[in-house]
Structure 1
Amino acid sequence: MTKHYLEASEYLYNYKHAPEESSLCALEQRTLFGEESDNLIKSTIKIEPSRSPFIKGGRLSILFSDKSVQAIAEQVDQIELKNQSFKVRFLKINDLSSKQKIEYAEQRMIESEIGWKINGEAQMKNPDILFGIVPFEGRWYFGTYQESEPVWLHHVKKPKEYSTAISTRLARTVINIAVPDPSGLRVIDPCCGIGTVLVEALSMGGIQIVGSDLNPLVVQGGARENISYFSYDGIVEVKDIAVEEGHYDVAIIDMPYNLFCQATPEEQYAIIKHAKRIADRVVILTIEDMDQMILMAGFTIVDRGVANKGKKGLFSRQVIVCE
C-alpha cells in the first residue's frame, strides 16, 4: 500500500464575517483567492490562516475527498504518522442546510469512525497532528487542520493611539488586499501615522515593508514606539512622500484627515500623484470620494470595497485598489 505523507495540493478555508463586513471580506477573498464565499473557500492557494481576521477556525489541507465518511475511513490507513499522536475533529463550519445539520453525538461518531482507522496513537489533548473532516458541496473532505490565531487582537492596545486610527482588524485585511503574495515585493506605507499597518505587516513575517510620515511626532512617539513595544523590527522615517526617491511594488495609503494632519484637496491629490510615481500598485483608504483624483493621477481602479464601522455603518472607509 502506498503511504501518504501528509502532502496536500488543495485547501479549505473557513470564513465568517459580520454583515457590515461583507464588502471588505469579499474584497479580501477576491484578492487572495479570486472568488467569494460566505463560509468555505476551496483553493489550490496556500496561505497562513492567521493572516486573515475573517478566517475563523483555520485551514484544512486536503488529503482525501470522497462521497461518504465511510469511503474516507477506508483510505486513512494510508497515512504515515511517524510515531506522532493525532486527533480528529469534525469542523462545524460547513455548507449544510439547517435540515441537514449533524448533531453533536453524530459528529463524535464520525470522529471516532475515522480515528479508529488511522494507524497511530490518538491523543485528545495537545496532539502532534490535528486532523479535520468536513462536508462541503456534497462531498466529504479530510486532512490536516491548522487553527488560526487572532494575532491582531494582541495589537489592539498600543502605547500610542489615535481615536481616528484604523483598527488592527482593518489594517490586517488591507495588507492582504495590498500584498496577497509578498514574495520578493517591496512595500511602503508613506502616511503611516502611528504605525497600525506596519505593526500588522511585520507580525505576518515575510513582508518587506517600510514606513514614513511627514509628522515627526507621530513617527518618533507613535509608529516607532508601537513597533518596538511589540518587539518587531521595522524602518520608519520622517519623510514627506513628495521627496521619496525609492520605487516600490506596493504602497498602502490611509489618506490623512484627522486633527493632527489635515489635508486640503490639493494636498490629497499630490499624495495620490506621488503614490503613482513611487509604486506600481496602490491601496487607498479614504472616507471621502476620491475617484476623480485617482483617475486624474493616472491610476486605474481595479477593485474596491467598503469598511463599515458598526452595524449601521455610520462611519465608513473606502478601500480602493489602484494600478
Structure 2
Amino acid sequence: MNRLTATGDYLYTYAYTNDEEALCQLEMRSFFGKDTTEKIIKSGVAINPSRSPFIKERIELFFEADSLQAIIEKSTEIDMSETTFKVIFLKINGLSEQDQVDYSGKRDVERQIGSAITGEADVHNPDVTFGLIPFEGRWYFGRYLQSEPIWFKHVKKPREYSTALSTRVARAVANIAVPEPEGVKAIDPCCGIGTVLVEALSMGIDIVGRDINPLVVEGSRENIAHFGLSGDVNLGPIAEVEERYDVAIIDMPYNLYTHATPADQLAILKDAHPFTEKLLVVTIETMDHMVEAAGFVVTDRCIAKKGMFLREILVCQKAV
C-alpha cells in the first residue's frame, strides 16, 4: 500500500442490548479510560475487536477529513496494485442525523472511493478491506477488521450450571479485570465450572482457577479441555493460595450447593487481600462494606442485568 500510514487512532463500533449497556460501558472504561452512550468510540488504544462481546468492528485510521470529497481525493494516493481490496461504508444504528446516509448513498460512496484507489477491487474475497464512516461531523477511513464472536462457540459446555455467568458477561468480566494481558497474572479462586476461565484463556490471559468443590474443579477442567485450551485448575480453599497475582476475579458463590453466608463472603474477600492488588467481584448482593472491611476500595462498578436478575460488578484496588 503506497503512501498509506496509520494515524495511531482507531474507531470501534458497538452492538448491545439495553440490559447490557452498563456492562459494555464498564468494559469501555477498562479498555479506553472513557465510555460513551453512542455505538461508536474513537481511541488511540488498539484492541482486537474479537476480545469484546460488544465490539462489532474496528477501523485502524489512515486518514480523516471534514468532507467526503476530501476522503475521495486522499484515496487516489492509495496503490493496491499488488493486492485486491474492497471498501465498506459501515452501518451504525443511532448515528446523529448529520452522519446518516441511506443505503443507495452508501453503495455510491463505496464505488467512488473504490474507483479512486489504484488496483483491483474484489467485493467477495479481498486481500484488504477498507472501512469508511462519518462520525461527529467528520469522515474517517482506514483498514477494516470485523469482530469474530468467539464467545458464542463457548455457550454449549460439557458441564453447566444454571446460575453460571453467561459467556458474554464472563468475557466482559475477564476484559474488565485484565484489559491489557501482557505480563499480568490472574486467578479465579472460586471458579465454579470455569465460565470466566474459558473466556480468559481463549483471549490469551494468563489465569489459573481454583475451587473448594471437587466436582466443579473436575467440571472446569473438562470445559477448558473441551475447547482445546489449557490452564491449571486446583482444588482447595482461597485461604490456601500462596502465589501472588496481579488480579483476582471472584464470582461470589450463591447457588443452592455453594451458598456462602455473609461471614463466608467476608472471609473470601479477606483471604484475597494478601495475594492480589486488584480484585473484581461479581455479586448479587451489596457488599461495599465487606470490600472495605477486607482492605479494598471500589474504583468502578456497574449493574449487569438479565431480565429481572441483577448482578453487581465491582472493580476494586487494595487500599493504601
TM range (shorter): over 0.9
Q: Deviations over 1:227-285 (max 9, x none)?
A: 01101111111121100000000100000011221111111111101112111100000
Quote the Cα distance in structure 2 between the aligned partners of 1:54 and 1:26: 10
Q: How far 1:82 moved relative to its partner?
A: 6.0
CA contact (8 A) 2:81 2:120 kept: no
Higher mean alpha-carbon deviation, 27-36 vs 106-115, is at: 27-36
1:271 is aligned to 2:298: no
Q: How far 1:92 moved relative to its partner?
A: 1.1
Quote the Cα distance in structure 1 between the aligned partners of 2:306 and 2:118: 49
SS of the residue corresponding to residue 303 of structure 1 reads: strand
Quote the Cα distance in structure 2 between the aligned partners of 1:8 and 1:276: 42
Higher mean alpha-carbon deviation, 289-298 vs 93-102, is at: 93-102
Name the amino acid aligned to 1:140. Answer: W
Name the amino acid aligned to 1:303. Answer: D
Scaled by the length of structure 2, the TM-score of the pair is 0.95
Quote the Cα distance in structure 1 between the aligned partners of 2:255 and 2:103: 50
1:127 is aligned to 2:121: no
Scaled by the length of structure 1, the TM-score of the pair is 0.95
Matched residues, number: 316
In the alignment, what sits opposite 1:179? 178
Quote the Cα distance in structure 1 between the aligned partners of 2:5 and 2:223: 39
1:257 is aligned to 2:262: no
SS of the residue corresponding to residue 296 of structure 2 reads: coil
Q: Deviations over 1:272-302 (max 9, x none)?
A: 0111211110000000111111001110110
Structure 2, unpaired ranges of 5+: none
SS of the residue corresponding to residue 75 of structure 1 reads: helix
CA contact (8 A) 2:84 2:127 kept: yes
Q: How far 1:4 moved relative to its partner?
A: 2.6
| Match for residue 209 of structure 1 among 204, 207, 210 | 207
Quote the Cα distance in structure 2 between the aligned partners of 1:20 and 1:100: 26
In the alignment, what sits opposite 1:144? 143
Structure 1, unpaired ranges of 5+: none
Matches within 5 A, 1:52-201: 52-56=52-56, 58-81=57-80, 83-93=82-92, 96-98=95-97, 101-201=100-200
Structure 1 runs of 4+ aligned residues shifted over 2 Å read 2-8, 77-82, 94-101
In the alignment, what sits opposite 2:306? 309
SS of the residue corresponding to residue 81 of structure 1 reads: strand
Higher mean alpha-carbon deviation, 125-134 vs 77-86, is at: 77-86
SS of the residue corresponding to residue 300 of structure 1 reads: strand
Q: Deviations over 1:120-174 (max 9, x none)?
A: 1100101111101000011000000000011111100000000000000000000
Name the amino acid aligned to 1:322. Answer: C
CA contact (8 A) 2:81 2:118 kept: no
Q: Deviations over 1:77-107 (max 9, x none)?
A: 3234361110000001166435763111110
In the alignment, what sits opposite 2:316? 322
CA contact (8 A) 1:94 1:134 kept: no
SS of the residue corresponding to residue 74 of structure 1 reads: helix
Higher mean alpha-carbon deviation, 133-142 vs 70-79, is at: 70-79
In the alignment, what sits opposite 1:236? 233
1:48 is aligned to 2:48: yes
Quote the Cα distance in structure 2 between the aligned partners of 1:99 and 1:73: 19
Name the amino acid aligned to 1:106. Answer: G
SS of the residue corresponding to residue 105 of structure 2 reads: helix
Quote the Cα distance in structure 2 between the aligned partners of 1:172 and 1:252: 12
Name the amino acid aligned to 1:316. Answer: L
Quote the Cα distance in structure 1 between the aligned partners of 2:250 and 2:81: 48
Name the amino acid aligned to 1:243. Answer: E
CA contact (8 A) 2:99 2:134 kept: no
Quote the Cα distance in structure 2 between the aligned partners of 1:52 and 1:96: 21
CA contact (8 A) 2:197 2:224 kept: yes
